[in-house]
Structure 1
Amino acid sequence: MTGTDNGREAYAAERAELARLLPPAPGTDLPPGRHEHHRERLMNLIDDDTARAQGRTGADAQDRARERAGRPDRSRLLRPSFLAPATALAVAGALVLGYAAQNGGPAGTGSTGETRSVSQVLLRISDAAGKGDALPIRDDQFLYTRGTGRDVDLTSGKAVIGPLEESESWYSQKPGPQKKLGLIRQGGHTLPINAELGDSEGTRPGLNRPTYRWLATLPTDPRQLLDYFDEITPKFEGEDRDQALFEAIGGLVGHALLPPDTAAGLFEAVALIPGVTRTPDAVDALGRKGVGIARDDERSGVRTEWVFDPEDLSYLGWSSHLTRNTEYGKKGDFMGDSAVIETAVVDKAGVKPQS
């Protein structure tokens, strides 16, 4: 739904009110970013676990990466993780940590005041997104994304924080099913992004391949949009369905190239999901503080926060941590983060945008 223009004076007043709720942004000239790192790390985790179960010694990680480049990537789960760094780790955490989750009540929606507060913030973010300018992109072009972030390695049985690493991705906008979806460059290696697992004829535009053309066809009414996501988001036994919808939308926020009307509708749809909260001290991988929109996955004990710039409400990145003690760590322990550095449209995969 297109953001409503309440006039410059009203908009300025809303911005001022929001600024009072937030801590000042840190003084840093570093740019934002992060993406496909989670996909590679999760694949390493799966391979290492399989190797231990079969009594094999660990294989060379580089050889595994080359092997995976020729087959569909299992770790992209519900969507390409380079488009969804915030959700890639959260969904992976739900799968890895789920069996260790302690018994607990359903996710709380908080007080009426808290619900009203997060709804107001999301409406402001929606309004800002609806007023944004869409980057022009053709079907023969690529969405370029550069980012940085940290992962947590769980192979030892405890959460081990990895280093801050940068990666770049180029994602095809071609219509119809595609077997080669783009390229990912990280750690000096450039690999293809292949079709989703099971897509023998190629992956079609949709939740797993959110092209601009597909996104422009989505309903913009928040309730209709949320209902549609409920239809197209895969269902798993025992999952928190509200969390699944939060993650599905999070897979697009800030990492797909969203038409302004679609972006506005998505944020208003998030306001309809029970359990979504506002956090005043959210921080991305570069240490920038901003507006936090979060939800706790009670099944895995992981909270994921989306971080937005306190000035223009643009997406900065995400962070994640444990909400209770688990065998992998204690309540409050870090579980990964990211920051967006650059998003652009380019004519060829593997080529950086012109400065």
Structure 2
Amino acid sequence: MSSTPSRPTPAEREEMARLLPVPPERERPGRHHQALKDQLLREFRQDATPPAAAKPRCGVRRLTIAAVPLAAGALAVTLATSGLLDREPGADPNAAVAPGSGGSAPQATPAAVLLDRIATVAASKPAPAVRDDQYVYVASTVAWSSQSDVDPVMRLDTPHSRKIWLSVDGSRPGLLHEKGKEIPLAGDLDKSGRPVSDKPLGNPAPTLNNPTYRYLESLPTDPETLLKKIYDETKGSGPGPDQQAFVTIGDLLREQLAPPKVSAALYKAAARIPGVTVVDDAVDAAGRHGVAVARVHAGERTEWIFDRNTLEFLGERGVMVEDTEWAKSGQVTATTAVLTRGITNKPGEAPGHTG
């Protein structure tokens, strides 16, 4: 199979131009970088409780990054740069099926088309051979915002290195290297982020918000069924059902590895969430430009950034789209870049280590 997908024919372009709306960025030139996530990145909160004078706005959250396989993505360039994104004035840019409807395919919005392409690339890759006693490894550059009691304005941290090892089956403690610290990771934590003493280390009871590789393997690969599960299990939590579903899928796709068919189902499920759009130029923490899938909530937009040609997941960014008491429009409040990911035999070891 060729790694370069064929481009649409002129007739297909004409039909897609009729169906696909222009995203809001076409109506507001120069605002392509203005987006942010409502909920920052989920993570194990194993570090010591931060001082009261410096607290994250949304809490420190666990990143979960799946390996998005490489492949050429000519259609992503077409969507981001051609007239296929044009739409009639006044058309709803966020049209999609109702939350958790589980019976209808998503409308052909630019985001749905792009996510379908990303899903096709993800599904085409072979599933890795992974043993229970191994670890998922992800190295990234990250920066999040925080605020204090005396200064409510969000301040973005300096980008820094982060390396994490997560037990494949959750039976062993993981490890986090960040800001010069080595932090053992446990699945059961108290409110301060410390391990609960009477619980076993590791992650013996993984969930949507705290998965293992084996847990991800168990998820349904039908996008409608998967999305319904996400809505059902996150009901009543977070900023609302649609935003919580989008955040949950993002968390499942970041600081983890997911089997190819599950990755594809997660992308297709995201296409069914109302309000998901395309940002045709976004930049990750490593300075790499790409096309992004995004969703706005409470004046912020979450961006999942993908390589324009390969459709590989690059990272995530958050940018304000409205002025608030704690941040200004255009302000970047979260940024990440995935640099390396793979499978290792023990914590502290990089993929491919033979010693």
Instruction: Give the alignment's TM-score, normalised by structure 2.
Output: 0.69
Distance 1:125 1:170 in 2: 26
Distance 1:162 1:351 in 2: 27
Who is 2:347 aligned against?
349
Q: Secondary structure at the match of 1:235?
A: coil
Who is 1:253 aligned against?
253
- 1:76-123 Cα offsets, whole Å, 9 max, x none, are 66xxx14269xxxxxxxxxxxxxxxxxxxxxx9626699621111010
Who is 1:83 aligned against?
64
Offset of residue 321 of structure 1:
1.2
Instruction: Say if 2:19 is the partner of 1:13.
Output: no
**Cα gap change, 1:322 to 1:292, in 2 (>3 Å):** same
Q: 1:110 aligns with which of 71, 90, 93?
A: 93
Q: Where do residues 206-221 of structure 1 align in structure 2 (5 Å cutoff)?
A: 206-221=207-222
Who is 2:31 aligned against?
none
Q: Where do residues 64-75 of structure 1 align in structure 2 (5 Å cutoff)?
A: 75=59
Who is 1:189 aligned against?
181
Q: Secondary structure at the match of 2:115?
A: helix
Q: Secondary structure at the match of 2:152?
A: coil
The AA in structure 2 aligned to 1:292 is A
Equivalent pairs counted in the alignment come to 278
**Cα gap change, 1:36 to 1:241, in 2 (>3 Å):** closer
Who is 2:317 aligned against?
319
Preserved contact between residue 94 and residue 275 of structure 2 (Cα < 8 Å) = no
Preserved contact between residue 284 and residue 338 of structure 1 (Cα < 8 Å) = yes
Preserved contact between residue 143 and residue 157 of structure 2 (Cα < 8 Å) = yes
Q: Where do residues 164-179 of structure 1 align in structure 2 (5 Å cutoff)?
A: 164-175=159-170, 178=171
Distance 2:351 2:187 in 1: 25
Preserved contact between residue 282 and residue 307 of structure 1 (Cα < 8 Å) = yes
Unaligned runs of 5+ in 2: 14-21, 23-40, 67-90, 97-106, 191-195
Q: 1:136 aligns with which of 129, 144, 148?
A: 129
Offset of residue 137 of structure 1:
1.4
Unaligned runs of 5+ in 1: 1-6, 22-34, 51-73, 86-107
Who is 1:44 aligned against?
50
Who is 1:67 aligned against?
none
**Cα gap change, 1:235 to 1:181, in 2 (>3 Å):** farther
**Cα gap change, 1:124 to 1:266, in 2 (>3 Å):** same
My pick for the range that moved more, 277-286 or 193-202, is: 193-202
- 1:134-155 Cα offsets, whole Å, 9 max, x none, are 3321110001110002222222
Who is 1:338 aligned against?
336
Offset of residue 163 of structure 1:
1.1
Q: Where do residues 231-270 of structure 1 align in structure 2 (5 Å cutoff)?
A: 231-233=232-234, 235-236=236-237, 239-270=239-270
Preserved contact between residue 235 and residue 241 of structure 2 (Cα < 8 Å) = no
Task: Report the structure, 1 or 2, having the larger helix content.
Answer: 1
Distance 1:201 1:225 in 2: 30
Preserved contact between residue 253 and residue 315 of structure 1 (Cα < 8 Å) = no
Offset of residue 294 of structure 1:
0.3
Distance 1:132 1:12 in 2: 18
- 1:293-339 Cα offsets, whole Å, 9 max, x none, are 000112xx221100011111110001101121111121111111000
Q: Secondary structure at the match of 1:251?
A: helix
Distance 2:231 2:167 in 1: 25
Q: Secondary structure at the match of 1:353?
A: coil
Offset of residue 194 of structure 1:
2.0
Distance 2:161 2:320 in 1: 24
Who is 1:104 aligned against?
none
Q: Secondary structure at the match of 1:13?
A: coil
**Cα gap change, 1:214 to 1:9, in 2 (>3 Å):** closer
The AA in structure 2 aligned to 1:343 is R
| Percent identity over paired residues | 30
